[in-house]
Amino acid sequence: GNADPASLAEAIAAAVLVNLYNADYVLPAADSAERPALSTGAVLPSGTPDSAVPDEMPADLGGKTEYGYLVELRQKYLPADAFTGETRTEAERNDARRAARLIVESLNTRFDAYGQNPYELEIRGACYAAAYADTGEAVFRRLAVNDYKQAISSGYLLPKQDYDRLAAALLEPMAEM
């Protein structure tokens, strides 16, 4: 094929006109169209109950704000190497699973009530990245990349390094084109 811009433009214009004025083409009925699922269907691993991390937000946060409590949970139970560190015990990994799930569920509720903000998007992205490291399920990588990207696009650059690391694998196939 010829990659001449003028020839390419003519070919595209001809195809558009054929599609636009093709009286023989019948559109499918709207009720027969497949509707995409809005839910990701992704469920974070819940861990087991033999953990110091609670199932739900406690009523008494010990004088902390809900945000402060979530940040403390992340710092205490969800280090960056929670699922990749060779010295991590199964008990520590269980705590990390429970913390990630509680944090994501709490942040989702906060987002519904107050809207998203880049700081909490970064935290939720870190939880999804941890779930990806734990399970290898690609949906968690995509969710982490999405949260990181939204935080970065608002000007919050803390998640940039994690975004680059997770997004690089998604971009490799495009680089090979």
pLDDT classification of 19: cutoffs 50, 70, 90: confident
Distance, CA of 14 to CA of 124 (rounded, Å): 47
Q: What is the mean pLDDT of the chain?
A: 88
**Within 13 A of 47's CA, how many CA atoms are on the CB side?**
25
Query: Using one digit for the tens of pLDDT, what is the confidence trace for 45-104?
Result: 989 999 999 999 999 999 999 999 999 999 999 999 999 999 999 999 999 999 999 999
Of the chain, the percentage scoring pLDDT greater than 70 comes to: 86
Structure tokens at 52: 């110091």
Instruction: Look at the alpha carbons of 141, 145, 151, 152 in this order and tell me if their dihedral is positive or negative.
Output: positive
Distance set, CA 88 to CA 21, 84, 93, 115, 140 (Å): 64, 8, 7, 35, 21
What's the pLDDT score for residue 79? 95
Q: Any idea which residue has 């969800």 for tokens?
A: 78
Report the amino acid identity of residue 99: A
What's the pLDDT score for residue 22? 76
Lowest mean pLDDT among 3-12, 77-86, 88-97, 118-127: 3-12
What's the pLDDT score for residue 169? 83
pLDDT classification of 165: cutoffs 50, 70, 90: very high
Is the pLDDT at 39 greater than 60? The verdict is no
Task: Give pTM, 2 decimals.
Answer: 0.75
List b or e across 150-164, with b for residues whose CB sees 16 or more CB atoms inside 10 angstroms.
bbbeeebeebeebbe
What's the pLDDT score for residue 38? 45
Residues in the chain: 177
Choice between 31 and 110, residue whose per-residue pLDDT is larger: 110
State the average pLDDT over residues 4-13.
82
Burial class, 97, CB count within 10 angstroms (exposed 0-12 / middle 13-18 / buried 19+): buried
State the average pLDDT over residues 140-158.
95
